[in-house]
Structure 1
């Protein structure tokens, strides 16, 4: 804080960030934010400098997921800002509350060919919940506080705040600074659904013979895991958690029957959608993946999401955690209800059969280590509360099928947008946020190359992330000819060593666990570069006609 009556814009930004309680900022230095970064650091914000601006947003993304709170990224003007857009779009698709501070050209130069002049606010608008330019220095605390509130709720997502150079370096009297008027939001906004609608939904659930729950990001951000588990324990309804919310229910829970998902979706007579989007990933709850006459109860805190892609029999507008509690109370007050045991037991049988078959699969005929073999070793190496970040094509699907997650927010991947390059930045942000946790990144070799220099960020900031690369020598499997597929078997482990980390090169399955152990014991960021079978093509639901 300035020692006199006058205060600069960059001081007001730094003070507001600290007052809100944000501890870390992921950024790449540049004008006009250099003195802002210096002031934030002076006031105690940890400044994690990166090698590419999109990685800064991705690191803030993983930090926000793990803290379940707003996280902060910052960039300079012009191309520094445009580099953030992939990270912002990815956060927008997953509803993650990242606030991005962007330096921009001076307002006095707008329309006069100013240095790096771009309409950054308009560029950000399609991929943010709010994009705003601060036009007066005295309004900085007010607008920033509003930005934090808009990012977190009720529909969470990224916010872009544009900070022109003359606003950042402008000075005003402290008594002229506009008072903060926004209500400070630091957690989910709790709202209840209409009581009559809850009763109608409870009646549908009680009458259903084959109900399933699909839980998504909305359930994660409403911190609904514990109440959801209690409700499921009483009702006996099987649950399927969308990729961005994995760990919301421990995946060894008796009702988390991932392997029977196709059977459950195909045969369900009622689907309860808890904070999951009705998009391609849920097949919009439509045939052929679901029955034509399946009934749907949808819980969401955004009215625009309710019925966005199909008819909803009972829409429940409200906070997911609160509405699940309402449904549980309705179930208990109705007295003895069926627990759907015949339905659940059949799905358990399907699950056990598929798990047994998967574990018995023999890959001796594979020309190189099969990605499933790699995933099994990583699975057995991971701590129960490890944070796993997965990024790629084949390895993403194989890991989804093989490696479970047990804690909310402890699984991060390429997301709804299918963004490659997120793995290592997610891992660095996760380790910065949860230094006491084992953090493992499972990468394809193609996706690793997109943000590989963030390994340098991990080294410089002493963040010992273990990065395991499934190196099949190119983009996707060689199931057919694809121009541009070949990358070669690059020695990414040697790159890691050159940057000051630990490297391992593995070709045989029996060498993988010792290599992982040495990487963990090294105490520095590491790359375990594993040569895998380039012919291995993962089987999964085809979400688009234009699949790779």
Structure 2
């Protein structure tokens, strides 16, 4: 038996040296050499039932740890199956390395099995995409791909590399000392320029009603963020990606006052966050009181996309906040009454929401309200719980009501189907924590087979299916805007609990609110588990009421779209 290291061995060694200890994937002929090389180095391989799930799981692991997530998939359809999940990681700016095999070099261009232009296919949806053709390039290009995924030179996101199968089996004749010298890549701090700090500090001193909006990078700067909010008296809005940067009961956090805070703040400080559709693109028609935007971030998209920062501070969040604190940046004449009023009203609204959750009525069909389901889930949530929300209708309710200091959802791509793989990866990443996913019945169908992955891997996740037997946002839209012509929106009669049981999970069906709490507790005790909960389709979701289903021309929400349409302010 040949004991000389192969290219596959060297790639596996390089991944281990780079800190990779777990890979999500689905085996196939074009990656068997690399697959086995990883196994021989005690890298844990979580094998899934669909390649998209491998990328979703790598995505969730990366979000929860801040480390590189790795997916390994075979050539051709193995890779093409990942494109939705790769796009989701790209829009969400999550560092995921996707590795694949490809056609043996002598067969390229001959209509070989599973031969497609893989790097060309991945290039538009990744930060870097490349097919390696010679072993002398393997280490350099693997390193460059990892760094691209982690944000060197551009925003973090997915990056792609493939190796032909015959290259994987070649004996490696390069310098093995280079492999031994590899270390995990860490994006270095980026301190701000002094003149940018001065300009931002001056803007803060002039302000009276500052608002801070954060992106994911704020999670790792939580203590500094809290110190900055205390110093400036700013109110704070998180977004889906920054959930967990502050305790949910932090006094500066005003999630229930989002519209008013965006409308009335005179200074908006944006921390490493794109001004995408979830933030009305930074529109002056929506942020109508804001004379100044201070944007702090490493990358162009965080500094100038959609609305150029009046002050741009090119820095990582930690360095930027520390510099502003050191500069004594705080309002000279803050509108304390406004800040106190908005905080007080936020508390009142949160209290009213809690009351609404506790008293939400059943529908005319006798099924429980989605808020009843979410309220029961919240009873199980503690300070370490990872909460996952996936769906259309149920995500809309969950976004405002589901508790959980760490929270993952479909993200800005609106990528339904993430619930099962996200929760499975979360349970493997944090086996000491409770992991509960609230998933719409339609969304569950995309990746339900990966309940089997959770069972085989011992991932103690609870998958709670909110079953209203419909794609309910679209169903309401067809009722109200298309004369009730219901086509393709009903999903009647499916027993997701029985599907879970068939896949080896604990499964229960719940039709009564009285049964819900005990069923969820049994699910936690017997996880992985699928709890199929009948909820009413009569409850109209916040997203539907906001006009999201209409897909308005200028803004995602009807109120924002109306403001944009009537605005005479040039952007």
Q: CA deviation at 1:217?
A: 2.4
What residue is the counterpart of 2:103 in the other structure? Answer: 105
Q: CA deviation at 1:266?
A: 1.0
> Does residue 270 of the first structure (1) align with residue 267 of the second (2)?
yes
Q: CA deviation at 1:142?
A: 2.6
What residue is the counterpart of 1:465 in the other structure? Answer: 461
Structure 1, residues 29-59: CA drift from partner, whole Å, max 9, x if none? 1021112212211111001000000000000
Q: CA deviation at 1:179?
A: 3.9
Q: CA deviation at 1:184?
A: 5.0
Q: 2:117 aligns with which of 116, 119, 142?
A: 119
> Does residue 191 of the first structure (1) align with residue 190 of the second (2)?
yes
CA contact (8 A) 1:95 1:217 kept: no
What residue is the counterpart of 2:169 in the other structure? Answer: 169
Q: Distance in 2 between matches of 1:107 and 1:178?
A: 27
User: TM-score normalized by structure 2?
Assistant: 0.90
Q: Are residues 185 and 302 of structure 1, via their aligned partners in 2, closer, same or farther at CA, if it must alter by over 3 Å?
A: farther
CA contact (8 A) 2:240 2:409 kept: yes
Q: CA deviation at 1:174?
A: 4.5
What residue is the counterpart of 2:233 in the other structure? Answer: 236
Q: Distance in 1 between matches of 2:289 and 2:334?
A: 24
Q: CA deviation at 1:311?
A: 3.2
Q: CA deviation at 1:294?
A: 3.1
Structure 1, residues 208-263: CA drift from partner, whole Å, max 9, x if none? 1111001012434xx22221111112222111111112111111101111001111
Q: 2:83 aligns with which of 82, 85, 101?
A: 85
CA contact (8 A) 2:382 2:404 kept: no
Q: Is there any run of 5+ residues in structure 1 with no aligned partner, and where?
A: none
CA contact (8 A) 2:13 2:179 kept: no
Q: Report the secondary structure of 2:30's partner residue.
A: coil
Q: Are residues 434 and 293 of structure 1, via their aligned partners in 2, closer, same or farther at CA, if it must alter by over 3 Å?
A: closer
Q: CA deviation at 1:185?
A: 5.3
Q: 1:248 aligns with which of 240, 245, 248?
A: 245
> Does residue 350 of the first structure (1) align with residue 345 of the second (2)?
yes
CA contact (8 A) 1:9 1:138 kept: no
Cα RMSD between the aligned structures?
2.1
Structure 1, residues 486-511: CA drift from partner, whole Å, max 9, x if none? 00141100111111110111111111
What residue is the counterpart of 1:513 in the other structure? Answer: 517
Q: Distance in 2 between matches of 1:20 and 1:356?
A: 47
CA contact (8 A) 1:198 1:326 kept: yes
Q: Distance in 2 between matches of 1:71 and 1:119?
A: 24
> Does residue 47 of the first structure (1) align with residue 45 of the second (2)?
yes
Q: Are residues 182 and 54 of structure 1, via their aligned partners in 2, closer, same or farther at CA, if it must alter by over 3 Å?
A: farther
> Does residue 366 of the first structure (1) align with residue 366 of the second (2)?
no
What residue is the counterpart of 2:69 in the other structure? Answer: 71
Q: CA deviation at 1:3?
A: 7.6
In proportion to residue count, which structure has more helix? 2
Q: Distance in 1 between matches of 2:278 and 2:187?
A: 25
Q: Distance in 2 between matches of 1:62 and 1:27?
A: 14
Q: Distance in 1 between matches of 2:106 and 2:144?
A: 25
Q: Are residues 79 and 260 of structure 1, via their aligned partners in 2, closer, same or farther at CA, if it must alter by over 3 Å?
A: same
Q: 2:415 aligns with which of 400, 419, 423?
A: 419
Q: Is there any run of 5+ residues in structure 2 with no aligned partner, and where?
A: 558-571
Structure 1, residues 43-95: CA drift from partner, whole Å, max 9, x if none? 11001000000000000001111110111100001000100111111111111
What residue is the counterpart of 1:219 in the other structure? Answer: 218
Structure 1, residues 265-312: CA drift from partner, whole Å, max 9, x if none? 111111101011011111012143210653100011013442211232
